[in-house]
Structure 1
Amino acid sequence: MRIFVYGSLRRKQGNSHWMTNALLLGEHCEQGYRLYSLGHYPGAVPGEGAVNGEVYRIDASTLAELDALRTKGGEYQRKLIRTPYGSAWMYVYQRPVDGLTPIDSGDWLDREES
């Protein structure tokens, strides 16, 4: 299975250690989402724009660990998207974004420039 990550799970980011057993397939830009800063990590919500990230091949145990990290408390919901590498899971932010800072570039790595 595959997963699309766009924030702290990306290479050289704070939670990239969760991806130790994953195989990087390549970069991807997912249209139809807007990226917001939640402080130390981002959230993508449906909207105008695009989100840049990476697609990885992962195993079931890695997905279960990521679900425990991302979906507890209903903060994110997993959604299946299409990528050039095949279908992949994406974590979509589920809470209101009022008052949050948008990342206009759509790229968490460029958040300081937004």
Structure 2
Amino acid sequence: MRIFVYGSLRRKQGNSHWMTNAQWLGDHTVEHYQLYSVGHYPGAVPGEGTVFGEVYRIDASTLAELDALRTKAGEYSRQLIQTPFGSAWMYVYQRSVEGLTYIDTGNWLDRDKFK
């Protein structure tokens, strides 16, 4: 199975250690989503924009760990998207983005430009 990650799970980011057993497949941009800073991590929501990230091949154990990290308390839900590498899961932010910083480049690595 595959997963699209766009924030702290990306290479050289704070939670990239969760992807230790994953196989990087390549970069990808997802259309019709907007990226917001939730603090130390981002949230992508449906909207007019694009979100830049990475696609990985992962095993069921890694997916279960990521679900425990991301879907607790209903903060994210996992949705299936299409990528050049095949279908992949993406965690979509479920809470209100009102008052959060919008990252209009769609790239979490640009977050310091929008403070």
**AA partner of residue 80 (structure 1):** L
Which residue of structure 2 aligns with residue 106 of structure 1?
A: 106
Which residue of structure 1 aligns with residue 15 of structure 2?
A: 15
Alignment partners' CA distance in 2, 1:80 and 1:30: 12
CA offsets 1:12-47 (integer angstroms, 9 cap, x no match)? 000000000000000000000000000100000000
Alignment partners' CA distance in 2, 1:71 and 1:36: 17
Name the % identity: 79
TM-score, normalization by structure 1: 0.99
Name structure 2 gaps, 5 residues minimum.
none
Compute the RMSD of aligned alpha carbons: 0.4
Alignment of 1:1-114 (within 5 A): 1-114=1-114
**AA partner of residue 36 (structure 1):** Y
Query: Which moves more between the two structures, 12-21 or 104-113?
Result: 104-113
CA offsets 1:79-102 (integer angstroms, 9 cap, x no match)? 000000000000000000000000
**AA partner of residue 92 (structure 1):** V
Alignment partners' CA distance in 2, 1:82 and 1:41: 23
User: Residue 95 of structure 2 aligns to a residue in which SS?
Assistant: coil
Count of aligned positions: 114
Name structure 1 gaps, 5 residues minimum.
none
Deviation at 1:53, TM superposition (A): 0.1
User: Residue 4 of structure 2 aligns to a residue in which SS?
Assistant: strand
